Structure 1
Amino acid sequence: MKAALDRALGVLRDDVRAMQAYAVHPSAGLIKLDAMENPFRLPGELQQALGERLGAVAINRYPGERTQHLARALAAHAGLSEGKALMLGNGSDELISLLAMAVSKPGERVVVLAPLPGFVMYGLSSAYQHLDFVGVPLTADFELDEAAMLAAIAEHRPAIVYLAYPNNPTANLWDDAVIERIAHAAPGLVVMDEAYQPFAARDAMALMARHPQVLIMRTMSKFGLAGVRIGYLMGHAELIHHIDKLRPPYNVSVLNAEAGLFALEHAEVYALQAAALRDGRAALQAALARLPGVRAYPSEANMILVRVPDADRLHADMKSRGVLVKNVSGMHPLLAGCLRLTVGTADENAAMLAALEASLAALVSA
């Protein structure tokens, strides 16, 4: 048995066996504020309507036209202009993997470039496809280092430049003039990752209109459908046409497509939820500013990055008090001492603040 298992393991890539998988931490029994989810459920009458609608879906058939209907509805919702197209992904993660596949050229060095700290999947998907990932550190205040970015682009000639807008985990938008110059200098694709667009004051649609190599990636997860797993990529129709060839033919289920269409038909409900989260974010930032030893950074997302005296101890202590936030202090040197707080409901935010304040007091008295 062991010899057979060893032979089976031997056919796997060495780098895959050495990798660490993306970690999803257990959250049972905790107030879950670690993953930037929309905390609001649908009203009861809409839950019932959705249930009845999903119950009528022909799940005995493969997905077909209904996913195309969803793509058209999302294009209309985004205000996609003529000459542009949209493709669906099973969440943004799949789209990032498909982009890596699209630029991978066996025998050639292909580079993916992004600012750091940033979304971990850019680097992971690059590794999966044997691409070289180049990370360019942000400035100390989490702004794009324009000179370093342009120098890295000139040196490495990346096939893809990822710019998360707002960024994860720092939650900020970057200078549009700097982004414009990066887009002009990039020799390949520039992917604007707008996962948190419902909470931001600006988007990159005008940038995409000016630059045919600019793609915009969004998700319905922050819209309020994290469990449904729908991402979408927008850009010049010819680019999307070729990248879409790599998409598995049935990557979005009929149930997911129907749930997405239902959500878009009730977009006003989700818009009100996003507005409530923006208001909650402002209230949280004001409260965090009054806590001694805590620095809260500006946010255009549904999360707030804070720098605290001892991130490891505070994270553990808050968890012991029933509140789960994200400890990002080990992700990058620029994030030393940082926690990432998801904006929740008013009650969840109050519980998080109370846990943080109590944990700070315990740290001081220790």
Structure 2
Amino acid sequence: MNSPPESPTSPLAVLRDDVRALHAYAVQPAAGLVKLDVMENPFPLPAALQAELGQRLGAVALNRYPAERTEGLRTALARHARLPAGGALMLGNGSDELISLLTQAIAKPGACVMSPLPSFVMYAMSAQLLGVRFVGVPCRADDFQLDREAMLAAIAAEKPALLWLAYPNNPTGTLWDTATLDALVDAMAPHGLVVMDEAYQPFAANDSLHRLRQPHVLVMRTMSKFGLAGVRIGYLMGDAALVAEVEKLRPPFNVSVLNTEAALFALEHEAEYARQAAQIRAQRERLFTALQALPGVTPFPSQANMVLARFPDAAATFALLKAKGILVKNVSAMHPMLTNCLRLTVGTPDETSQLIQALT
């Protein structure tokens, strides 16, 4: 049955057609399930630290706007990340806000944003919402590595103002080839910015901080994978003059006092989070080895806190796991190269055992 035509006086009529055609970000209900679908750190804080954090948050001046404490957080994050001299650091309400602000910053008429595909969906989404042309360049089909020649050709033809490189990549967990990265960064130097999105840096063998020597390179990180997904702290590092220009677009007081205090507390206890990251890396290798032993299953090497694997029937496997109380992410519809792929977040040792047993 067709819906009645919308009245031209409806409040919805003033909204953009492309916005109304979008689907809101969907979060799968996870009550009662082992939650392995959105790359969270599975470890809570030890009870003693939880109590100490509660006392800290209870003393926060909620009647005041964030100010000095956010400046303290910038300083603490710069020290934690080992920001090189001459660089600056900008805070965001999660990486998503920084992605939007960077896209706003380059949104001149005719500007182009580029990313390998498949990759983080918010690069293309932010470009679409801000009226910026997005160009995606498919990765190599066999191993999800960057297609060097295709990327260089696309950069030469399109001259993107902004190139996103998730390192490691989401949803594949791939750590890009260093020589290819060098070539792409050099190719972008005359006309655009390169953003190394290091959301999964706590689990990776390499990082990109040395690339900040080149003034057109920025490094973006988040505290979500560090262990504070509920706190929503992202940060951008780069040449001080460049970061200062992007900073002009940041909404005032975009990071709350509670989030700031929780982040400062976490950085004071970074050894605990480093211990958790080491456990996650160990469970990742255990899960990858188990997936390799399953007939018909192809896992892809990962340097993140998830493993992408291709199954004979991803939908059936997803349903089977959910019936056994385990929630993962079916990414098959995200891109044709991900057909029959599931993304499996790395959990605790017990959660990994449950996942392996269910798949076996």
TM-score interval, smaller chain: over 0.9
User: d(CA) in 1 for partners of 2:187 and 2:285?
Assistant: 36
Please provide the CA RMSD for this pair: 1.2
**Does the aligned pair in 2 maintain the 1:180–1:207 contact within 8 Å?**
no
Q: Which of 145, 148, 152 is the matching residue for 1:146?
A: 148
2:71 is the alignment partner of 1:37: no
Structure 1 unaligned runs (5+)? Answer: 358-366
Letter of the aligned partner of 2:283 in structure 1?
G
Query: What is the aligned residue count?
Result: 353
2:14 is the alignment partner of 1:50: no
Q: Deviations over 1:262-311 (max 9, x none)?
A: 00000000000000101111111111121111111111010001111000
User: d(CA) in 2 for partners of 1:190 and 1:23?
Assistant: 29
Letter of the aligned partner of 2:111 in structure 1?
V
Q: Deviations over 1:244-266 (max 9, x none)?
A: 11001111000000000000000
In structure 2, the residue matched to 1:123 is 124
User: d(CA) in 2 for partners of 1:278 and 1:85?
Assistant: 30
Give the structure-2-normalised TM-score: 0.96
In structure 2, the residue matched to 1:243 is 246
Q: Which of 25, 40, 44 is the matching residue for 2:28?
A: 25
Letter of the aligned partner of 2:235 in structure 1?
Y
Q: Which of 327, 342, 348 is the matching residue for 2:330?
A: 327
Q: Which of 235, 248, 253 is the matching residue for 2:256?
A: 253
Q: Which of 174, 177, 180 is the matching residue for 2:176?
A: 174
Structure 1 segments of 4 or more deviating over 6 A?
A: 2-5
1:17, distance to aligned residue in structure 2 (A): 0.8
In structure 1, the residue matched to 2:135 is 134
Letter of the aligned partner of 2:343 in structure 1?
R
Q: Deviations over 1:28-65 (max 9, x none)?
A: 11100010000000000000000000000000111111
User: d(CA) in 2 for partners of 1:172 and 1:18?
Assistant: 31
Structure 2 unaligned runs (5+)? Answer: none
3-state SS of the aligned residue for 1:238? helix
User: d(CA) in 2 for partners of 1:320 and 1:161?
Assistant: 40
In structure 2, the residue matched to 1:361 is none
Q: Deviations over 1:165-217 (max 9, x none)?
A: 000011010111111110111121100000000000000011122x1100000
Q: Which of 168, 182, 185 is the matching residue for 1:183?
A: 185
Matches within 5 A, 1:74-223: 74-105=77-108, 108-140=109-141, 141-186=143-188, 187-209=191-213, 211-223=214-226
Q: Deviations over 1:113-140 (max 9, x none)?
A: 0000000000001111001110000001
Q: Which of 222, 227, 231 is the matching residue for 2:234?
A: 231
User: d(CA) in 2 for partners of 1:285 and 1:185?
Assistant: 35
3-state SS of the aligned residue for 2:91? strand
User: d(CA) in 2 for partners of 1:334 and 1:160?
Assistant: 24
1:7, distance to aligned residue in structure 2 (A): 3.0
3-state SS of the aligned residue for 1:170? coil
User: d(CA) in 2 for partners of 1:38 and 1:356?
Assistant: 22
User: d(CA) in 1 for partners of 2:36 and 2:239?
Assistant: 36
In structure 2, the residue matched to 1:271 is 274
Identity in percent:
61
User: d(CA) in 1 for partners of 2:180 and 2:205?
Assistant: 17
Residues 34/3 of structure 1: CA separation in 2 closer, same or farther (3 Å cut): closer
User: d(CA) in 2 for partners of 1:13 and 1:21?
Assistant: 15
Give the structure-1-normalised TM-score: 0.95
1:3, distance to aligned residue in structure 2 (A): 7.8
